[in-house]
Chain A
Amino acid sequence: MQYVDEFRDPELITRASEEIRRLADPKRHYRIMEVCGGHTHAIYRFGLKDILPSNIELIHGPGCPVCVLPMGRIDDGLAIAKAPNTIFAAFGDMMRVPGAHGSPLEHKARGTDVRIVYSPADALELARKYPEKEVIFFAIGFETTAPSTALTLMSAKAEGIHNFSVFCNHVTIVPAIRAILDSPDMRLDGFIGPGHVSTVIGCRPYEWIARNEGKPVVTSGFEPLDLLQSIVMLLRQMQAGEAKVENQYKRVVPWEGNRAALKAMAEVFELRPYFEWRGLGFISQSALRLREKYAAWDAELRYSVPETRVTDPKAAQCGEVLKGVLKPAQCKLFGKECTPEHPIGALMVSSEGSCAAYYNYEYRKSLVTRISSVA
């Protein structure tokens, strides 16, 4: 497959990993955060940790939109979807995410009309298909998915489709990175910048990280070679004592971002004063809501939202894992009470969450290694 196979070429990958070994100072420990959940998933899926030197530690960041969504928002969305003649439409990722009263799939089993959609446009199509029903689209995601929600709302408005509304949970990546950098226990050397988000916002919004915090950022693609090349670029900067933003994912990410997508977002959304993130708490100006001119399609205004607040179990140490202070397996609940089948903490929820990725791809392997070494 074009644009995939060439980034999985074993020879090029071997060359890149040799370059990493050459560049990495053996006396130094490097802590690099991959911001995006897609990167976390790819790192485990391709077994990249096994081919990196042990002094390069990859820290999994906050870039999984499903993981960082507070449980109460899921409960709120499902509560309003209980109204008769209502269809609750959401992405596949959301279906197993538990609210305090069950996941969308469990609500479906109890009779709520829950549908998996592959895009917001598919949810609007449901509204066209079932004019007698109310369709609520549970919008989630960073700037990656927000433009398609915006364009869908623009279509709904243009066509005058009024049996459609959006329960907006879109969040923005930069405040989350800022919250992590502001954390006093943070010790990071650089960032693998989020590739998908950057296709929309470009690379410029990360320049303050390099300028003010002195940390290099390399926006990266999702194939093994992309990630290894990004690490090479970060190490080169560190070796030269530089901190700047670089774009490894040039084939997809324009430096200035996607103007059309940004324009659509600006037309439909405005920043919320504050929003709660699972594991990170309240972060100001970190999420989007619908502008007043789209109030007619805003589920939060059209329905009586219970505004449920569910605090994560105290024992779940999601915040520390998100900030890279703890490794997934160091959390007290990991692999015991909290598993992908019964997620308790935020990061075990989606397949892209660092705990779920670690559990699915590494956990049992590490147990086996531990048992062998003990023996």
Chain B
Amino acid sequence: MAHGAGGKASRRLVEGLFAPLLYPGSQEPLNDAAHLEVGGTRIAFTADSFVVKPLRFPGGSIGELAINGTMNDLAVSGAKGVAITVTFVLEEGLAASVLEAEVRAMSKALKKAGAVIAGGDTKVVERGKADGMYITTAGIGTPLPGIKVDARSVRPGDKILLSGPIGDHGITILLARGDLDFEADLCSDTRSVLPLVEALAAECGPGIRWMRDPTRGGVATALNELARDSGLGIELLEEEIPMHDAVRGACELLGLDPLHIANEGQFLAIVSSEYADIALNALQQTAGGEEARMIGQVQVEPANAVLVTTRYGGSRIVDMLVGDPLPRIC
């Protein structure tokens, strides 16, 4: 399971097996989407799978997640999604009404994203072989003009922007599974981040160095990957990281680090220092970006690592997630 949790083991699997055999010789950092040239036209291309349990949760559902998640992978690579393919793996006995609800949710999210379905496939597996439904997608997008997202272009002094509060999706799912006997007024943050990315691109396109949506593995894992790919250090200011009280409370109670909790509708952007204030303003002036913050900066040291400065001037290293986040006893 750790190999699919988005942390260290996932990275090891990709770097140790997939990349050497399927993408030999490449020195490119691992991104959310590939930018390719096809017949003289540049396109962005991505793929994703959605295996969320439960299928519906406060604030969203697997269908909506599949569309928004795919579009977001394209958006943070600097592209606007235009077409998507959808493959359903359905478990025998799944109620038709459940499937219909998800297809409707997808249709709504597609319309909002301004994208179309380019194709798809359906497979049915025996009862007990899937958690109701899995969805696999592939998405194609057109690059937004004037943006080049590449970890290797990140420089010391660049600023780190976060589009909004962290942990809402991960904690919502944890609570929606019903294993925990407490409730919180919390919704998943699943949404399209494209409007925010477009606002950023319009105001400070050349200043954007890198973007990533911190899904599985959370902000900690995304920034550790950036630190490794850029060879630089990331310094976060703990008090600047936006977080809802319900997320903070749940993490305190369970002994989880909110920086490791999954997000869906947020993204991180590294912006050159001269564009930082403009970029933050652009995000905060765009609907859904009101809670965006500048949460830290890139520096030379600690090389390849993420450091958090606490509110009291102390500091600690934040590592990538190891396996799934597991709650503590006490």
With contacts A38-B330, A96-B323, A341-B322 taken as known, whether A368 is within 8 angstroms of B305 at the C-beta atoms is yes
Contacts of A361 in B (CB 8 A): 316-317
Minimum CB–CB distance from B37 to chain A (whole Å) comes to 39
A151 at the A/B interface (Cβ < 8 Å)?
no
Q: Is A105 a contact of B312 with CB atoms below 8 Å?
A: no
* Chain A residues in 8 Å Cβ range of B330: 38, 141, 144-145, 196
Q: Which residues of A contact B303 (CB under 8 A)?
A: 368
Q: Check A47–B301 contact: CB distance below 8 A.
A: no
Among residues of A, the one whose C-beta sits closest to the C-beta of B312 is A13
- A276 within 8 Å of B (CB atoms): no
- Report yes or no: B314 in contact with A48, Cβ–Cβ below 8 A: yes
Can you list 17 pairs linking A and B with CB atoms under 8 Å apart?
A1-B248, A1-B252, A4-B252, A10-B311, A47-B315, A66-B329, A92-B326, A92-B328, A93-B328, A105-B2, A105-B323, A116-B327, A118-B181, A196-B330, A351-B328, A365-B307, A368-B303
Compute how far the CA of A4 lies from the CA of B328 in the bound complex, rounded to whole angstroms: 18
Given contacts A92-B328, A196-B330, A352-B328, contact A46 B302 (CB under 8 A): no
Contact A50-B329, Cβ < 8 Å, known A105-B323, A341-B322: no
| A361 CA to B309 CA, complexed, in Å | 12
Set A118, A350, A364: member contacting B180, Cβ < 8 A? A118
Bound together, the chains give a CA A196 to CA B328 distance in angstroms of 13
Q: Does A183 contact B (CB under 8 A)?
A: no
Other 12 A-B pairs with CB < 8 A, given A365-B316, A368-B305: A10-B311, A17-B312, A47-B316, A92-B327, A92-B328, A95-B326, A96-B326, A109-B1, A196-B330, A365-B302, A368-B302, A368-B303
- Chain A residues touching B, majority SS: helix
Distance, CA A17 to CA B2, complexed state (A): 40
The 8 closest A-B pairs by CB, nearest first: A47-B314, A92-B326, A368-B302, A50-B314, A361-B316, A92-B327, A47-B310, A144-B330
Q: Which B residue's beta carbon lies closest to that of A9?
A: B311
Residues of B within 8 A of A372 (CB): 301
Interface residues of A in 336-369 (CB under 8 A from B): 340-341, 350-352, 360-365, 368
B121 within 8 A of A: no
Q: How large is the interface on B (under 10, 10 to 19, 20 to 34, 35 or more residues)?
A: 35 or more
Q: Is B317 in contact with A365, judged by CB distance below 8 angstroms? A: yes
**Across the interface, which residues of B come within 8 angstroms of A38, CB to CB?**
330
In the complex, are the beta carbons of A351 and B312 less than 8 A apart? no
Residues 271-302 of chain B, each 1 if its beta carbon lies under 8 Å from chain A, else 0: 00000000000000000000000000000011
Whole-angstrom distance between the alpha carbons of A364 and B228 in the complex?
Answer: 13
Q: Tell yes or no: A51 within 8 A of B by CB.
A: yes
CB nearest neighbor in A for B181 = A118
Q: Smallest Cβ distance from B274 to chain A, in angstroms?
A: 28
Q: Are the C-beta atoms of B329 and A141 separated by less than 8 Å?
A: yes
CB distance from A22 to the nearest CB of B (A): 17
Interface residue ranges, B against A (CB under 8 Å):
1-2, 8-9, 179-181, 233, 245, 248-249, 252, 255, 301-303, 305, 307-317, 319, 322-323, 326-330
Q: From B326, which residue of chain A is reached at the shortest CB distance?
A: A92
B314 contacts A49, CB within 8 Å? Answer: yes
Could you say which of A46, A105, A224 contacts B1, with CB atoms under 8 Å apart?
A105
Asked whether A122 and B301 contact (CB < 8 A) given A47-B316, A105-B1, A105-B323, the answer is no
How far is A41 from B256 in the complex, measured between Cα atoms in Å?
Answer: 11
Residues of A within 8 A of B314 (CB): 46-51
**Bound-complex Cα distance A350 to B245 (A):** 26
Q: Which residue of B lies closest to A122 (CB)?
A: B179
CA distance A358 to B291 in the complex (A): 33
Residue from A1, A45, A109, A224 whose CB has the most chain B CB atoms within 10 Å: A45
B305 contacts A364, C-beta separation under 8 Å = yes
Whether the pair B1, A51 counts as a contact (CB closer than 8 A) is no
Question: In the docked arrangement, what's the CA distance between A325 and B323, Å?
Answer: 32
Closest Cβ of chain A: how far from B288's Cβ, in Å?
A: 25
Given contacts A1-B252, A368-B303, A368-B305, contact A8 B328 (CB under 8 A): no
Would you give the shortest CB distance from B232 to chain A, in whole angstroms? 12
**Which of chain A's residues 107-138 have a Cβ closer than 8 Å to chain B?**
109, 116-119, 122
Residues facing B in A138-161 (CB within 8 A) are 140-141, 144-145
User: Across the interface, do A140 and B319 meet the contact criterion of CB distance under 8 Å?
Assistant: no
B329 touches A145 (CB 8 A): yes
Q: Mark A200-236, 1 if CB is under 8 A from B, else 0.
A: 0000000000000000000000001000000000000
For residue B223, give the distance in angstroms from its CB to the closest CB of chain A.
14
**A90, B319: Cα distance in complex, Å:** 25
Assembly CA distance A91 to B313 (angstroms): 34
Residue among B1, B312, B326 making CB contact with A10, cutoff 8 Å: B312
A1 CA / B330 CA spacing, docked (Å):
19
Closest residue of chain A to B248, judged by CB? Answer: A1
- Asked if A118 and B179 sit within 8 Å, CB to CB, the answer is yes
Closest to B315 in A: A47
Q: Return chain A residues, CB-CB under 8 Å to B305.
A: 364-365, 368
Residue of B nearest to A223 (CB): B252
A190 within 8 A of B: no
